[in-house]
């Protein structure tokens, strides 16, 4: 069950959260929403272990890869609220393991309008996230747009808000990241960021 708390001061232990953010606690993580129109941001209570090498090779190598969830890391099952229906995409776990071994951080940036529709609840979203991480391993940050397509928010891909939010929490410039997705809105969000 999620608990909603209004933060009154910035959270120095979680960069990117500001006064007035909504803090949503679930068993495995803390979810923040930057104001009513911002994305939901998930930070695990127990961060993933450090990668074996610690830093990626090469000066131009990305420091993080921001993955779309549905259709990229896991099979796209429309309106899914059941973690048992979550299936990894071929080679997703292996790709994440290669990145982690190279010291490249992993994050998820995903549109989830079923939250606004009332089809998906925060506890269900957390259960889906926990199942995905059980199948694929941990991700450091998850940024979720909970708005309907017609809401006109700045976080729904193809807008750059999710990329910016994830980068803020990772303390990386967008130019030091790569976005991987399955449709054009993922690419546009990366380009606009």
Distance between CA 127 and CA 135 in Å, rounded? 12
Helical H runs in the chain? 92-101, 114-117, 122-136, 161-170, 184-192
Instruction: Please tell me the pTM assigned to this model.
Output: 0.80
| CATH number of this structure's domain 44-192, picked from the four choices 3.40.50.1000, 1.10.10.10, 3.40.50.620, 3.30.465.10 | 3.40.50.1000
Residue 21 scores a pLDDT above 90: no
The pLDDT tens digits for 39-59 are: 888 877 555 554 444 555 566
Q: Which residues of 157-175 are buried (b: 16+ CB within 10 A; e: fewer)?
A: bbbbbbbbbbbbbbebebe
Residue 110 scores a pLDDT above 70: yes
Q: Angle at Cα 146 formed by Cα 190 and Cα 20, nearest 5°?
A: 95
Q: Which of 122, 192, 156 is nearest to 39 (CA)?
A: 156
Where do the structural domains in the chain lie, given as residue ranges? 44-192
Number of Cβ atoms within 10 Å of the Cβ of 119: 13
- The predicted structure's pLDDT at residue 8: 29
If you search the block for the tokens 């990894």, which residue do you land on?
Answer: 88
Mean pLDDT, the chain, as a whole number? Answer: 82
Q: Which of 147, 121, 193 is nearest to 39 (CA)?
A: 147
**Quick one: tokens of 7?**
């933060």
The pLDDT tens digits for 114-163 are: 999 999 999 999 999 999 999 999 999 999 999 999 999 999 999 999 99
Residue 13 scores a pLDDT above 50: no
């Amino acid at each position: 069950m999620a608990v909603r708390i209004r933060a009154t001061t910035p959270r120095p232990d979680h960069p990117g959260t500001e006064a007035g953010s909504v803090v949503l606690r679930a068993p495995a993580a803390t979810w923040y929403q930057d104001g009513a129109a911002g994305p939901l941001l998930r930070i695990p209570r127990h961060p993933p272990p450090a990668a074996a090498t610690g830093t990626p090779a090469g000066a131009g190598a990305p420091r993080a890869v921001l993955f779309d969830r549905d259709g990229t890391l896991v099979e796209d099952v429309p309106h899914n609220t059941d973690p048992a229906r979550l299936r990894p995409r071929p080679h997703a776990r292996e790709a994440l393991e290669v990145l982690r071994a190279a010291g490249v951080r992993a994050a998820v940036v995903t549109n989830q309008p079923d939250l606004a529709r009332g089809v998906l609840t925060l506890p269900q979203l957390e259960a889906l996230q926990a199942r995905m991480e059980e199948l694929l391993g941990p991700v450091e940050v998850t940024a979720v747009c909970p708005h309907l397509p017609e809401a006109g928010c700045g976080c729904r891909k193809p807008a750059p808000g999710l990329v910016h939010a994830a980068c803020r929490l990772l303390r990386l410039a967008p130019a030091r990241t790569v976005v991987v997705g399955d449709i054009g809105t993922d690419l546009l969000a990366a380009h606009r960021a």
